[in-house]
Amino acid sequence: MKQTRYVLRILKCQKALASCAAGVLCLALATLSPVLAGPARPGVPLQPATEPPPSLTISPGVIMLTGQPGQSTTQDVTMSNLTPRPFRFDLEAMDVAVRGGQRVFVPAGEMPRSIARTAVFSPNSFVVGPGDSVTVHVTVTLLENPATRAIVTVFRSNTKIQGQDGLAMTASLGALMTFTLSKKFQIESAPLQFEGTSEGNDLVISEWVTNTGSEPVVPSGVVAILNASGNLVGKAKVEAMRLLPGERLQFKSEYPSQLKQGKYRALMTLEHDGTVLTTSSDFDIR
């Protein structure tokens, strides 16, 4: 409650100072926000806030949907322009296919039963001014036996900074939309791999995991290290990664402390959608 009150006061102050110079505003915020910035030290001059670099931001970056074929959904995706110039965007959807274990973006309609082909954008192009945001409504319909379980809605930039001769680059951002249509979740793992098994080195434990099911999964987990007596020596987190059906990724964990010479056993446990997959292997630190 206290924090809420502070935020409200700051917002009111921001409004009041909107016409003032930025430096004044920063100073006012620093003075007002002991809760947010910590106590001021006497005699230490206040530093002006660092300006964030100019950027384009898409939000949300990922949308995970669950449903049945025949259903449709409308999602809002917002583009924010934090640059000093206007940007024009055209909307486009692409299917996200998996070939050879890796993702490939396929233009809408190229694959049979393309979900991307059903995408409707409102608006389908827009200009977003400096400091502004534009929200686009994206409607997609799930087909029977769709070709993929993911599409990307691309905000394709049509604004470029052109040099005299050469190359211009435009930044486009995509929001990933994944679709879960059944309970057919399954992942399979290869044997554990070890790097840095000499004493004093940083130990990295990894395994290649393939999504052999029909639906997207986001496994995450932990690696437990046991000593020769079977006692727990330590644990390390395995970061969550998204796997589309057919996709193959290497799940890695860096053990945070160093192990002494000896024999150990590693158990990597990955959990997703109520399912647990554990792989274990013995290794030596020499």
Interface ranges with another protein (CB under 8 A): 53-68, 70-73, 75, 80, 83, 87, 94, 102-107, 152, 154, 156-157, 159-176, 218, 239-242
CB 65 within 8 A of CB 179: yes
- For another protein, the closer CB: 58 or 147: 58
Q: Nearest 5 degrees, angle CA 31-CA 35-CA 39?
A: 65
40's tokens? 């001021």
Write the DSSP symbol of residue 246: T
> Among residues 232, 194, 211, 224, which one has the least CA distance to residue 275?
211
Q: Are strands 204-211 and 102-107 parallel, antiparallel or unpaired?
A: unpaired
- Name the amino acid, one letter, at 225: I
- For another protein, the closer CB: 57 or 198: 57
Between CA 58 and CA 38 the distance in angstroms is: 31
CB 17 within 8 A of CB 25: yes
- For another protein, the closer CB: 63 or 203: 63
CB 262 within 8 A of CB 228: yes
- CB of residue 173 to another protein, shortest distance in Å: 6
- CB of residue 250 to another protein, shortest distance in Å: 9
> Among residues 61, 64, 58, 73, which one has the least CA distance to residue 243?
64
Between CA 122 and CA 137 the distance in angstroms is: 5
- For another protein, the closer CB: 105 or 283: 105
CA of residue 210 relative to chain centroid, distance: 20
Q: Phi and psi dihedrals of 113, rounded to 5?
A: 55, 45
- For another protein, the closer CB: 65 or 226: 65
- For another protein, the closer CB: 62 or 232: 62
- CB of residue 163 to another protein, shortest distance in Å: 3
- For another protein, the closer CB: 140 or 259: 140
CA of residue 109 relative to chain centroid, distance: 26
